[in-house]
Chain A
Amino acid sequence: MHDMLAEPAGAAAAQADGSVRLSAARPGDRGVIVSVGADTHPDAHGVDSDELLRRLLEFGFVEGALIEVLHEGAIRHDPIAVKLDDMRVALRRRDAEDVWVRLESR
């Protein structure tokens, strides 16, 4: 079982449009980023929400980008490695909490 209890935003609750938090995605999940934010847990990132948001955007986590979760770490499935458009990026689930992805049906 995927240990989601430890994750900040709780379970992989889907939005009305079927999108999920990137922090709750599993390897193999792929889709399109529908919204990028950083403000659910403003104190959990070591930098303020605006700074985290800008860093995410700078690395290419933008609305419309294609994303696929490739790998995850051994401890608590963290961090994750994703394919973002045509590059690969590693990040922690905690910081990916407000990145919403509309998953492709597998």
Chain B
Amino acid sequence: MSDATLTPARVALVGNPNTGKTALFNALTGSRQKVANYAGVTVERKEGHVTTASGRSLSILDLPGTYSLRARSPDEAVTRDAVLGRLAGEVEPDVVVAVADATNLRLVLRLILELRAVGRPMVLALNMYDIAQRQGLRIDLEGLQRELGCPIVTTVATRKRGIDELTAQVEALIASGAVSTENVWHEPGAAEIRGAHREAQRLLKAYVRPPERPDTITGKVDAVLLHPVAGLAILFSLLFLMFQAVFTWAAPAMDAINALAEWLGVVVNQNLPEGLLRSFIAEGVIAGVGSVLVFLPQILVLFFFIILLEDFGYMARAAFLMDRIMGGAGLHGRAFIPLLSSFACAIPGIMSTRVIDNKRDRIATILVAPLMTCSARIPVYTLIIGAFIPDTKVWGLSLQGLVMFGLYAAGIISALAVSFVTRRVFWRGAVEPFLMELPTYKLPSLENVARNVLLRAQIFISRAGRIIFPLMIVVWFLSTFPGPPAGATGPAIDYSLAGRLGHLLAPLLAPIGFNWQMTVALIPGFAAREVAVAALGTVYAIGEADSAAGGALSAQLAHNWSLATGLSFLAWYVFAPQCASTLAVVKRETNSWTWPTVMFLYMTALAYLASFTVYHVAVSMAGG
């Protein structure tokens, strides 16, 4: 048996969505989890380890939820290929654990029939068994076990019940020498799906007695949450609350991260001799990493809400309510969550488009996600609004606040418009069908929510770090080399590659009212939008300008720029693809240079057009 303890047995979790599969994975593996990507595809690979009571090591793979092995999305294709043992770079599983919601067996029975055709040793985990018992649902486990030909274990993942029995059963299956039988699975046709449903119906009738006290809460809650008027009102109130929370709860943590980065910069500046190394560490590494990490608190708050609502069962309802509204612009109802996440940062938003089955629907969503006003634009907006928009009230509302709101609205409206045009002009034809299970409402387990939020954070840091960090180095290099000649009077950046590039581009951007200082600041602004604020500080030689407060800078800008130029700069920032990281993530997610190129071109064109219009309208109004 020494061999068995050395190589862990491979177990794959397969099941419908909303069956508590991830909760079961968490209960099995605890903190012994690892998240990566499958080779060649951008689907998350979640693996964990568990040691059984008898000391055997199992490696557990949490496969994406699916209703059928006939995969439609990249996620579902991974599940199919993993089960079939034909996923590049993966070894086929020794045992498949089919995870089922004990209160909702019909569709999973059909999936189990498909899995049985694959022929791998299988254990059925009837999860949420406590709810089934509370409802008075009776399942003849013996009979079902006999019919399906696989052992059945009842579990309550959120309370960690049945976990040892499950691992023991998996172990027993391996010890019994169960091996895969011949794989006779093929993509089922309509007639076969009908046949499988009849078989599932027969099994249900023979071995499951319907609940004596069926769930009535879901129906009552839906009567309110899916109400055409009240439902939408509640959805928008929830969104409003989420935004409030994203901006207010995250603020102290963001301030702390900024302060920490500044403090580290000061420490480095005091302790290292002046020179390239100091500049690299303080301005390249610390400022670069800080400018990414500063969004982490907002992303955590946003994901806390999204995961909480998801576990509660609300997100499918939100997609239902939004489907027709977004459908008018040619977007799929499921694009709602990715676009929502993009208000914090387009990167997690683009990463979460993986839930959209159809490639065109997904790419349409990816293309418009950066038009949602991400938090990185806020420092730029605040600076320019503070400098050019008078702090007065219009109809009792702050004019500055109204402009800010207008910039958000411009982003949303243009995203819908771009998607609309894309679907009408380039991809004519109907949007994919919208078929979605509305799961029964469940009280979320705080432990699971916390674990998933931390997981999201970990993914954001590692992925963003791998993409953003090298980019920050490139931008630092461009803004630093070559250094100013001896006796130079202007700011150092003026002599660097970035400065020269800025001067080179200046004539191109002159028609939209940009001066060369602005063009130069745009170059480092490609690393991350808010870096432009610090860069403007550098070009206007404010010295160690505080990028957050920017009081002095604001006054300087008000003095140097015309109102038209200020407004033109705002318009530019609504549209411009001023974020190299987003483009890099789009490249990764679409696995092609086509889409980042398309995104860059269309956003630059829109930005130029918008700035040009705003600048000339403003000039003519001021001149008239």
Contact = CB atoms under 8 A, between A and B. Distances in A.
B438 A59 contact: no
A74 B429 CA distance: 24
28 contacts: A43-B429, A44-B430, A46-B432, A47-B432, A50-B190, A52-B433, A57-B194, A58-B70, A59-B67, A60-B107, A62-B193, A63-B194, A64-B201, A71-B223, A71-B226, A71-B227, A73-B228, A73-B324, A75-B325, A75-B328, A76-B324, A86-B210, A87-B104, A87-B106, A88-B437, A90-B323, A90-B437, A95-B433
Contacts of B436: 89-91
A29 interface: no
A63 B439 CA distance: 22
Contact of A90 (B214, B320, B358, B430): B320
A81 B438 contact: yes
Contact of B433 (A64, A75, A85, A91): A91
A69 to B, nearest CB: 12
Interface string A47-83: 1001011111111101110000011111110110100
Nearest to A77: B228
Interface of B: 67-68, 70, 72, 103-104, 106-107, 110, 188-190, 193-194, 197-198, 201, 210, 214, 218-219, 222-223, 226-229, 231-232, 316, 319-321, 323-325, 327-328, 333, 358, 429-440
Contacts of A89: 435-438
B193 A88 contact: no
Nearest to B319: A90
Interface of A: 43-47, 50, 52-60, 62-64, 70-76, 78-79, 81, 85-92, 94-95
A85 B104 CA distance: 10
Nearest to B433: A95
B324 A58 contact: no
B70 A91 contact: no
A58 to B, nearest CB: 5
Contacts of B316: 90
A59 to B, nearest CB: 5
A70 B222 contact: yes
Given A73-B320, A76-B324, A88 B218 contact: yes
Counting from the closest, the 8 A-B pairs by CB-CB distance are: A74-B228, A88-B438, A46-B430, A71-B226, A57-B193, A75-B324, A46-B432, A95-B433
A76 B328 CA distance: 12
Contact of B431 (A46, A52, A57): A46
A89 B189 CA distance: 22
A71 B228 CA distance: 8
B324 A62 contact: no
B15 to A, nearest CB: 14
B106 A81 contact: no
B435 A91 contact: yes
Contacts of B72: 55
A38 to B, nearest CB: 9
B193 A73 contact: no
Nearest to B193: A57
Nearest to B70: A54
A79 B433 contact: no
A8 to B, nearest CB: 11
Contacts of B429: 43, 46
Given A72-B228, A88-B439, 12 more contacts: A45-B430, A55-B435, A71-B226, A74-B229, A75-B324, A79-B323, A85-B106, A88-B437, A90-B438, A91-B436, A92-B327, A94-B430
Contacts of A57: 190, 193-194, 197
Contacts of B433: 45-47, 52, 55, 91-92, 95
B222 A92 contact: no
Contact of A60 (B189, B197, B430): B197
A81 B226 contact: yes
B207 to A, nearest CB: 15
B565 to A, nearest CB: 41
A85 B205 CA distance: 13
Nearest to A92: B434
Contacts of B193: 54, 57-58, 62
Nearest to B110: A58
Chain A CB within 10 A, most for which of B68, B222, B433: B433
Contacts of B440: 88
A88 B107 CA distance: 12
Most A CB within 10 A of own CB, among B218, B323, B328: B323
Nearest to B201: A64
A1 B431 CA distance: 27
A74 B430 contact: no
B358 A81 contact: no
B194 A46 contact: no
Contacts of A75: 324-325, 328
B185 to A, nearest CB: 15
A87 B440 CA distance: 8
A106 B144 CA distance: 37
A102 to B, nearest CB: 18
Contacts of B70: 54, 58
B435 A95 contact: yes
Contacts of A90: 316, 319-320, 323, 434-438
B440 to A, nearest CB: 8
Nearest to B68: A58
A92 B431 CA distance: 11
Contacts of B432: 45-47
A62 B197 contact: yes
A50 B187 CA distance: 13
Contact of A91 (B226, B231, B434): B434
A102 B324 CA distance: 27
B110 to A, nearest CB: 7
